[in-house]
Chain A
Amino acid sequence: MKTQTLAIRDLGVRRAGCDILSGVSCSLITGQVVGVIGPNGAGKSTLLSAVAGQSGFSGAVSWGASGTGARPKSSDIGYMPQSCKVTASLTVLETVLLGTHERLGWRVSQSDIARATDILAELSLSHLASRCMTTLSGGQQQLVLLAQRLVRQPGLLVLDEATSALDMSHQISVLMLLKRYVVRHNALALMAIHDLNIAMQYADQLILIHDGRLVHQDAPENVLSVANIRRCYGLDVDLVARAGGRPVIAPRPQVMA
């Protein structure tokens, strides 16, 4: 499978006279999970929304072999926006099937259902297959919606807070699943991550957004330096070394004044 490249050149988003994002440029190849980190309001969601083609921007986003090419098509993208709570009384299986709605005919074929149930199994959601969406918790809904994006087998996954409602073990298993996915399908996963330790341990690369600008793009241990964290998050931390792996970020205890 050929390597594709997501090339973002000088991307800017301006709204109501304010520059929410400006001059964001980077180049990312498939086969990796890239975390987008940064403090609240830095512009992460805006960036992801722009890359997924859901909002307007200036600059260029291209997806294809060797960094040239057109904007990514909607069939290439699996985008999960921030707030997407489902209130319709559809079952989990039905919801996941809708991920490939463009390909469904009047009768849902055996292979369509099989593909959906496979994804549900991978995310350990099989036992919920016939449950109604409205009866699920926020975290479970999030997983189902992720399954829905994955069943499209997109080349580019753009996930904004796909794991925010999940407990730690689920967050980790989702990240592991995504790592397996990007390797198996030669895809690229671009996801916003709030938990810096998860970002440190499981992302292949990190992009740090601060005040609408891309300030650092590198391997996690390089991006998450004490200096960067202090500058962008305003937080004093210790990096605790771990044998055979990346360090753990430990915020310094605050002193009660």
Chain B
Amino acid sequence: MTVDTRHIAGYRRMAFKRALALGGAIFVMLWLVILDLSIGPSGMPLSDVIDAVLAGPDGADRATATIIWYLRMPQSLMAVIVGMCLGIAGLQMQTILDNPLASPFTLGFSAAAGFGAALSIMFGAALPLPEYLITPIAAFAMTILACLIVYGMVHALGETPEILVLCGIGVLFLFQSLQSLLQYLASPEILQQIVFWLFGSLLKANWTSVAVTSLVALACLPFILHDTWKLTVLRLGDANAASLGISVGRLRRRSFVLIALLTAAAVSFVGTIGFVGLVAPHVAKALVGEDHRFAIPLSAMVGAVILASASVFGKLISPGGVIPVGIITAVAGIPMLFLVIYARKRRSS
């Protein structure tokens, strides 16, 4: 059966190439993390960085120890984790909505998070918790609320992608207008804080945020991995997937909740960082195709790479290192998107 073995060999080769792409992405990401740790506004030479890393968080030189262990390391880790969450959430969203323009923010999650943050910035002083805890909690809570609203509406009205998108857009506009209302009522100082939060910045990262975001992501991971094959099948279309024994509505709802959790964890601490969730899945699919066994992890890695490189780039062009990373991903994301579209066109023609 030479035909057989040829196809088996071909399939294995394809899988190997995809695994290679995944490995390559991981390698690039690790490199970027190291680079990110070595660059910063204090202008520490590489030798100092290495010394501080080896000396540990309780090292004798308090200044470099604090900079490396309490400032740069959480920021770099946060870039990676947030990038991974947004990458996975973006891929899932594009799959369940069957729409290449979907992103984790399509159904209103970023608008809700922004509203939550605005609420806490305006009124959070009334609560006994410190401000840097209230804002993430409020942003997270509002994102989950948006998720529940859309979930409820979809449950009542039907579970097709069209209805999901319509409900999501409705929720998006709802929270966006509420957010605008708050911005209008806010004093200039508060308004500036809100706007700054919306840009998305890694500067607020600390070990708490790293821990919480990682925990949420790890909790979601088994559920996502369990659905890997089902998501690939969903790419064949609702009718095909249903006829192959997948309860499409349940899969969609389940994924939707997981996307909400991942997105909430990603943006609650660092603000709404756009484009990563839109571009990462496209790059991943361009490299490894639609097989979600490869597309999911690669989407995560590409997301981490995008965010980590945005962080490095931001530090390079602004020595104070204070350009919000969300602005850089927006600016860099556009040419990347064009590249992806161009590559797709080249391949299909």
**A interface list, Cβ under 8 A from B:** 52, 54, 74-75, 77, 79-91, 93-95, 98-99, 101-102, 104, 106, 108, 110, 113-114, 117-118, 120-121, 126, 129-130, 134, 145, 148-149, 152
Q: A87-B237, A90-B290 are in contact. Are A98 and B8 (CB under 8 A)?
A: no
B162–chain A nearest beta-carbon distance, Å? 16
CA–CA, A114 to B289, complex, Å? 22
C-alpha spacing A152/B233, complex, angstroms: 14
Q: Does B332 have its Cβ within 8 Å of any Cβ on chain A?
A: no
A90 touches which of B239, B243, B291 (Cβ 8 Å) = B291
C-alpha spacing A52/B239, complex, angstroms:
12
Contacts of A110 in B (CB 8 A): 8
Which of A74, A94, A120 has a CB less than 8 Å from the CB of B245? A74
Question: Considering the chains assembled together, what is the distance between the CA atoms of A79 and B62 in angstroms?
Answer: 68
Interface residue? B293 (CB, 8 A) = yes
Query: Assuming the A-B contacts A89-B290, A90-B289, A90-B290, are A104 and B229 also in contact, with contact meaning beta carbons closer than 8 angstroms in the complex?
Result: yes
Bound CA span A44–B293, Å = 38
In the bound assembly, the distance between CA atoms of A113 and B15 in angstroms comes to 13
Interface residue B206 (Cβ < 8 Å from any Cβ of A): no
CB-based nearest B residue for A85: B237
B291 partner residues in chain A, CB cutoff 8 A: 90, 94
Residues of B contacting A79 in the complex (Cβ-Cβ under 8 angstroms): 243
Report chain A residues within 8 Å CB of B246: 101
Interface centre among B3, B7, B230, B289 (most CB of A within 10 A): B7
B3 touches A88 (CB 8 A): no
Tell me which of A77, A113, A145 contacts B11 (CB under 8 A). Answer: A113
Closest residue on chain A to residue B228 by CB atoms = A106
Complex CA–CA separation, A80 to B239 (angstroms)? 9
State whether A121 and B3 are in contact (beta carbons under 8 Å apart), knowing that A90-B291, A98-B233 are contacts in the complex: yes
Q: Tell me the nearest residue of chain A to B9, going by C-beta.
A: A113
In the assembly, what is the distance between CA of A161 and CA of B343, in Å? 36
B235 touches A129 (CB 8 A): no
Complex: A87 Cα to B348 Cα, angstroms: 13
Residue numbers in A under 8 Å from B235 (CB-CB): 88, 90
Q: In the docked arrangement, what's the CA distance between A108 and B16, Å? A: 12
Q: Are B244 and A99 in contact (CB under 8 A)?
A: yes
Check: B236 CB closer than 8 A to any chain A CB.
yes
In chain A, what residue has the closest Cβ to B242? Answer: A54
B290: A residues at CB distance < 8 A: 88-90, 94
Of the candidates B7, B8, B15, B243, the one having the most CB atoms from chain A within 10 angstroms of its own CB is B243
Residues of chain B within 8 A (CB-CB) of A87 are 237
Closest Cβ neighbor of B3 among chain A residues: A126
Chain A residues in 8 Å Cβ range of B229: 98, 101-102, 104
Per CB-CB distance, the 7 closest pairs between chain A and chain B, nearest first, are A74-B245, A88-B235, A79-B243, A101-B229, A81-B239, A84-B240, A84-B239
- Determine the residue in chain A with the shortest Cβ distance to B98: A87
Query: Once the chains bind, are A113 and B8 in contact (CB under 8 Å)?
Result: yes
- In the assembled complex, the Cα of A117 lies from the Cα of B289 at a distance in Å of 20
| A148→B235 CA distance, assembly (Å) | 14
Q: Which residue of chain A has its CB nearest to the CB of B230?
A: A101
Q: What is the distance, in angstroms, from A21's C-beta to the closest C-beta of chain B?
A: 19
Interface positions of B from 193 to 241, Cβ below 8 Å from A: 229-230, 232-233, 235-237, 239-240
Q: How far is the CA of A100 from the CA of B4 in the complex (A)?
A: 18
Question: Are A52 and B243 touching (Cβ within 8 A)?
Answer: yes
Contact A86 B236 (CB under 8 A): yes
Q: Which residues of B contact A83 (CB under 8 A)?
A: 239
Query: Is there contact, CB below 8 Å, between B7 and A88?
Result: no
Residues on A with C-beta less than 8 A from B245 are 74-75, 77, 102
27 pairs from A and B in contact (CB 8 Å cutoff):
A75-B245, A77-B245, A81-B242, A84-B236, A84-B243, A85-B237, A88-B235, A90-B289, A91-B289, A93-B11, A94-B289, A94-B290, A98-B244, A101-B229, A101-B246, A102-B229, A102-B245, A106-B293, A113-B11, A114-B8, A117-B3, A118-B4, A126-B3, A126-B7, A130-B7, A130-B14, A145-B240
Q: Which of A54, A79, A117, A145 is most buried by chain B, counting CB atoms within 10 A of its CB?
A: A117
The closest CB in chain B to the CB of A120 belongs to B7
| B10 touches A (CB below 8 Å) | yes
Q: How far is the CA of A254 from the CA of B152 in the complex (A)?
A: 57
Q: What residues of B have a CB within 8 angstroms of the CB of A121 in the complex?
A: 3-4
> How distant is the Cα of A93 from the Cα of B8 in the complex, in angstroms?
10
| Distance, CA A54 to CA B241, complexed state (A) | 11
Instruction: Across the interface, name the chain B residue whose C-beta is closest to A81.
Output: B239
